């Protein structure tokens, strides 16, 4: 089957560092293993990021075709040059530096001259060269100073430029149709153009059997003339309107995609029934629930020595490799750089919540549970998270107020290999989420490297875990004491919990990329049949 995959992500997204990205990576691998032809439609700015994702999943980039949109690249390149590159150290006043080096060299020559006549001649020659070069040096330096000044005005907005821009921006926000800041408006328009351009290109050039869209972000995909299947992970914003109102997230696009799309795949029956059929009135035959692929993290750290080793030695290699990877964590820390300087990770015990920091992720309850465990129960473990909580005011305030910044540490955007090492070495994977699109990845990611999980008793979890007797590790996410109790229990009874969870994992483990890709292929075939 020829499958098109639509990935019109904005330039800020790094798929390999997100759970969904790893899901897409696995799925592509599964499709290719099932002898499908893959074409990825994406903006030019995403090419490197997608190749990195393919690389992470051992997919040869040559085995995938690309349909690329160049739209927006000019604006993006300009933005990158003017704003993003400013962070790099500029070489200011380099001419003066060069001049100093030349002078140092000249001094060397002068001090080695023994004849006063030669010295006088040298000094005169040097003076003449200086006089001749002086205007050129001054002009060059002035040009650089002016250029730097303009750049600095643009970046730092010194003098009144920043204020003027702010004033202009507020007028723009007030009177423009979009009601957004000029930069945001431009950014969104740029992404929209790309989305439209990709759809146009698909309609003109594509001969794929089906187009698969892994997200609800792009309503334009409903205009693709070929059969198009959209993943509807969830619509979490409608479940947490108060909290999402504080964020910049907008759901208009998702709602439009839901309204206008025809064929959908969800990750669990709950979302299929609750969202697609009940709320959006989609036809049941046009919706399928296909549970996640198990994200096997072991492959990223599975060291195999050239010579024969027993299981125990092999595990030692993996452990030592993982610990060496953990030593790189400080470069991904969002804060605490001073604290983490010279910090030794080789024996650190920690619990891990690998998730983006979104309102439904219930971070604050976990932090409260952690505070209690650390301060009142003397659980010495640290709490590592992978989400960027710096924008979550209440979480930050709680951490500061309770001085937990040295024990709750956020490592953001860690590469998948380091994430695998974090799972491998964690005492426990914790997931206090209030709402998910499907059974959380964290369970399989942890268990694939032998780390058990404690989780929320939300329907998406219970749908899978319900039939197993795992009450000791399932908690009420609305009760931080319950979260704490279950974490403490699992920390103390880790082996027992692992043994119990292994039964469930054995089932989940079977959901490898090829198996799930085949379920997708079956669904695609069914949707194509309906489309005819």
Partner 1 sequence: MKKKRVLWLINHSTLREFEVPLLIELGYEVFCPKSFPYDEGNLSASIDYKYDESLTIAKETLDKLNNVNFYEDISVEISSIINEFFGIAFFAAFPRQFKMLTKHFKGVLCLRPFGLPNGYTYAELFAEANGFYFLAQIEKLKGRFFFCQAFSDLAEIESNCFKNHAIYLPLGLKNTSISDNWNGKDKKVFFVCPRIKTSEYFNNIYKFFKLNFKEFDYVIGGAQPISVREDKNVLGFISREEYDNNMKALSVMFYHSKEERHIHYHPFEAIRNGMPLIFMGGGVLDKFGGKDLPGRCTSVKEAKRKIKRILKGDEKFIKLVRNTQEILIKPMNYQVCKTEWVRNFIQIEKACKKQSLESKKKVAVIMSGGYTGGVLDFSIRFALSIKRAIEDEKAEVELIFAHEDLPIFNCNHYFQKIKDAGIPIRTFNKENKDKEWVKKTLKLMNYPDNFNDDFVTVCNDGINYFFDCDYLLLTSDAFEQTFFSLRPYALVVHDYIQRYVPEIFPFRSNKNVMDCAKNADTVFVTSKSTMMDAVQYGGINKNKIRLIPLMIEAMQNVNNSVESEDEYKDDFFVWSTNVSPHKNHQNAMMALVEYYKNGGALKGYVTGSNTEYLDDSSNIEDGNGVPVMYIKKLQKIIKENRCLKENLVFCGNLSKSEYAKLIQTAKFLFHPGYGDNGNGSAVDAASLGTPTISSDYPAMRYMDEFAELNMTFFDPFNIESISSELKKAEKFYKEYAKKLPSFEQLKKHTTDNTYKWLYHIVKETIGF
Residue 8 or residue 27: which is nearer to partner 1 going by CB? 27
Distance (Å, whole) CA 446 – CA 423: 5
The partner residues of 287 in beta bridges, in order of sequence, read 264
Minimum distance between the CB of residue 321 and partner 1, rounded to whole angstroms?
Answer: 4
Minimum distance between the CB of residue 420 and partner 1, rounded to whole angstroms?
Answer: 10
Six token digits for residue 170: 């507020």
Residue 322 or residue 460: which is nearer to partner 1 going by CB? 322
382-385/350-353 β-pairing:
parallel
Residue 226 or residue 309: which is nearer to partner 1 going by CB? 309
The partner residues of 351 in beta bridges, in order of sequence, read 383, 428
The partner residues of 409 in beta bridges, in order of sequence, read 384
Minimum distance between the CB of residue 494 and partner 1, rounded to whole angstroms?
Answer: 17
Query: What b-and-e string marks burial along 316-348, b requiring 16 or more CB atoms within 10 Å of the CB?
Result: eebbebbbebbeebbebbbebeeebeeeebeeb
Residue 60 or residue 108: which is nearer to partner 1 going by CB? 60
Residue 347 or residue 469: which is nearer to partner 1 going by CB? 347
The 3 state secondary structure assigned to 88-137 is CCCCCCHHHHHHHHHHHHHHHHHHHCCCHHHHHHHHHHHHHHHHHHHHHH
Residue 32 or residue 271: which is nearer to partner 1 going by CB? 32
Minimum distance between the CB of residue 69 and partner 1, rounded to whole angstroms?
Answer: 25
Q: Give the three-state DSSP class for 67.
A: strand
Minimum distance between the CB of residue 394 and partner 1, rounded to whole angstroms?
Answer: 19
Minimum distance between the CB of residue 352 and partner 1, rounded to whole angstroms?
Answer: 15
Residue 255 or residue 303: which is nearer to partner 1 going by CB? 303
Minimum distance between the CB of residue 59 and partner 1, rounded to whole angstroms?
Answer: 6
Minimum distance between the CB of residue 336 and partner 1, rounded to whole angstroms?
Answer: 10
Minimum distance between the CB of residue 529 and partner 1, rounded to whole angstroms?
Answer: 34
Distance (Å, whole) CA 9 – CA 42: 8
Residue 327 or residue 457: which is nearer to partner 1 going by CB? 327
Minimum distance between the CB of residue 339 and partner 1, rounded to whole angstroms?
Answer: 7
Residue 417 or residue 433: which is nearer to partner 1 going by CB? 417
Which element (helix H / strand E) includes 183?
helix 182-205
The 3 state secondary structure assigned to 187-229 is HHHHHHHHHHHHHHHHHHHCCCCEEEECCCCCHHHHHCCCCEE
Query: What b-and-e string marks burial along 190-211, b requiring 16 or more CB atoms within 10 Å of the CB?
Result: bbbebbbbbbeebeeebebbbb
The partner residues of 383 in beta bridges, in order of sequence, read 351, 408
Six token digits for residue 53: 């994702």
Residue 102 or residue 403: which is nearer to partner 1 going by CB? 403
Residue 318 or residue 498: which is nearer to partner 1 going by CB? 318
428-431/228-231 β-pairing:
unpaired
Q: Which of 36, 37, 47, 39 is nearest to 9 (CA)?
A: 47
Query: What b-and-e string marks burial along 423-440, b requiring 16 or more CB atoms within 10 Å of the CB?
Result: bbbbbbbbbbbbbbbbbb
Locate tokens 């040869």: which residue? 60
List interacting residues with partner 1 (CB under 8 A).
54-55, 58-61, 299-307, 309, 313, 316-317, 320-321, 324, 338-349, 374-376, 378, 380-382, 402-403, 406-407, 417
Strands in 382-385's sheet, in edge-to-edge order, are 408-410, 382-385, 350-353, 428-431, 453-456, 474-475
Residue 282 or residue 382: which is nearer to partner 1 going by CB? 382
Minimum distance between the CB of residue 172 and partner 1, rounded to whole angstroms?
Answer: 43
Six token digits for residue 123: 């000094």
210-213/263-266 β-pairing:
unpaired
Minimum distance between the CB of residue 449 and partner 1, rounded to whole angstroms?
Answer: 14
Residue 61 or residue 284: which is nearer to partner 1 going by CB? 61
């Amino acid at each position: 089957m020829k499958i098109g995959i639509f990935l019109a992500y904005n330039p800020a997204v790094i798929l390999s560092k997100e759970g969904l990205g790893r899901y897409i990576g696995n799925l592509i691998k599964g499709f290719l293993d099932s002898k499908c032809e893959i074409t990825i439609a994406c903006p030019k700015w995403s090419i490197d990021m997608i190749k990195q994702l393919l690389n992470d999943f051992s997919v040869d980039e040559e085995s995938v075709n690309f349909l690329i949109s160049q739209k927006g690249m000019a604006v993006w390149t300009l933005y990158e040059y003017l704003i993003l590159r400013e962070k790099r150290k500029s070489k200011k006043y380099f001419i003066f530096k060069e001049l100093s080096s030349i002078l140092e060299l000249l001094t060397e020559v002068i001090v080695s001259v023994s004849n006063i006549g030669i010295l006088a001649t040298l000094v005169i020659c040097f003076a003449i060269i200086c006089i001749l070069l002086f205007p050129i040096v001054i002009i060059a330096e002035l040009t650089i100073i002016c250029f730097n000044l303009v750049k600095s005005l643009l970046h730092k907005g010194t003098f009144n430029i920043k204020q003027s821009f702010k004033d202009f921006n507020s007028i723009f926000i007030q009177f423009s149709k979009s009601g957004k800041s000029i930069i945001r408006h431009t950014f969104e328009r740029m992404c929209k153009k790309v989305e439209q351009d990709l759809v146009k290109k698909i309609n003109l050039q594509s001969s794929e059997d089906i187009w698969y869209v892994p997200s609800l972000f792009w309503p334009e995909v409903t205009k693709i003339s070929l059969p198009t299947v959209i993943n509807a992970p969830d619509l979490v914003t409608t479940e947490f309107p108060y909290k999402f109102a504080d964020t910049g997230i907008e759901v208009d696009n998702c709602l439009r995609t839901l309204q206008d799309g025809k064929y959908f795949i969800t990750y669990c029956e709950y979302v299929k029934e609750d969202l697609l059929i009940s709320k959006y009135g989609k036809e049941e035959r046009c919706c399928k629930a296909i549970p996640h692929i198990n994200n096997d993290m072991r492959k990223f750290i599975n060291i195999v020595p050239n010579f024969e080793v027993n299981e125990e030695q092999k595990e030692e290699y993996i452990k030592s490799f993982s610990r060496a990877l953990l030593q790189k964590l400080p470069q991904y820390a969002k804060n605490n750089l001073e604290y983490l300087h010279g910090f030794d990770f080789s024996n650190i015990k920690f619990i891990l919540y690998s998730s983006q920091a979104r309102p439904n992720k219930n971070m604050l309850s976990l932090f409260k549970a952690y505070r209690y465990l650390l301060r009142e129960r003397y659980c010495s473990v640290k709490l590592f998270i992978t989400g960027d909580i710096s924008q979550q005011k209440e979480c930050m305030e709680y951490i500061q107020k309770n001085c937990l910044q040295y024990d709750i540490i956020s490592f953001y955007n860690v590469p998948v290999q380091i994430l695998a090492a974090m799972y491998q070495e964690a005492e426990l994977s914790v997931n206090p989420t209030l709402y998910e699109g499907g059974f959380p990845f964290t369970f399989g990611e942890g268990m694939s490297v032998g780390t058990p999980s404690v989780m929320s008793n939300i329907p998406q979890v219970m749908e899978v875990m319900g039939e197993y007797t795992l009450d000791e590790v399932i908690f009420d996410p609305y009760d931080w004491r319950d979260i704490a109790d279950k974490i403490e229990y699992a920390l103390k009874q880790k082996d027992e919990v692992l043994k119990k969870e292994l039964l469930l994992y054995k089932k989940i483990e079977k959901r490898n990329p090829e198996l799930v890709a085949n379920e997708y292929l079956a669904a695609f075939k069914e949707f194509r049949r309906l489309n005819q």
